Amino acid sequence: MKIIIIDTEMSGSTNEDRVISIATDELEDNKLKGLKKGLFNPGVPIKQGAFWVHKISDRDLVNKPDFKNTKFFKLLNDFLSDPKNIVVGHAVCNDLFVIAKEGIYSRCRIIDTQYCATKIFDTEKSSLNFLAKEYNLLNDENVTFHTAEGDVKVTYKLYLELLKHCCFEKLVSLSMEQFFDLQVSVDGRKKKFIYSIAAQNSEVLLPLFKKVKDPKKFYALMFFYSNSHLIHNKTKNEMINILSL
């Protein structure tokens, strides 16, 4: 099992928009091994609203490669295709959703530091900026928020803070159990739990990959579909036990 922390930045929030920046760092014994980051040309103009957030301009990306034509793409694809691995991120389903738009579908379990923070700290305010200030995560370190590399560093600090209150295995199970409540409708029929559909006939989920726009539902589709062989004809409690660490 390997663990990475990940963050992405986008050219905008429409269906045509693509990843322009990714940063990852692998964890070993809860220490960072070394940041990997890249800038990519999305092939579409950066929206003004997105620029105001991450300050990456079209000019910055003129000579950058298409993400799919990079070693970073292959490394990330190899990592996310291994169901033994764990992905850590703040609202990480958003990152996995936009990465899926590039053709990389995750089979990994996650630790969503945003979701875990709301549950463990019992707070409705869950932005990285707020949590970093509230829990003094940076100790006066100079980190640029809303950049992929900056948010990976802050997410790591938040992850360590969460571990003071909860073990690693519990962070995984807490993050994953939320997806057992998500429902979708297949062919206009009554909504059913995604995990239940995957356990009975996962192939009927395939058309939904192009229709579902909610990142959490999309992740649930990816995860339960890719692991359907493990949960076939299992009860919910059996599935939770099988998919836990």
- Torsion angle in degrees (nearest 10) through CA of 103, 71, 69, 227: -10
pLDDT recorded at residue 26:
97
At position 207, the amino acid (one-letter code) is: P
120 and 204 assigned to the same domain: no
Q: Which residues of the chain have pLDDT under 50?
A: none
pLDDT digits (tens, 9 = 90+) for 120-131: 999 999 999 999
pLDDT recorded at residue 15:
86
pLDDT digits (tens, 9 = 90+) for 177-221: 999 999 999 988 899 999 999 998 999 999 999 999 999 999 999
Indicate the residue among 124, 142, 173 that finishes a domain: 173
pLDDT recorded at residue 7:
97
231 and 169 assigned to the same domain: no
If you average pLDDT over every residue of the chain, what do you get?
93
pLDDT recorded at residue 27:
97
Q: Which structural domain, as residue segments, surrounds residue 159? A: 3-173
91 and 196 assigned to the same domain: no
24 and 44 assigned to the same domain: yes
Provide DSSP, 201-244. HGGGGGGGGGT---HHHHHHHHHHHHTHHHHTT--HHHHHHHH-
96 and 161 assigned to the same domain: yes
98 and 199 assigned to the same domain: no
Total tally of structural domains belonging to the chain: 2
Which residues fall within 8 angstroms of residue 39, CB to CB, at 6 or more apart?
20, 21, 56, 60, 61, 64
pLDDT recorded at residue 196:
92
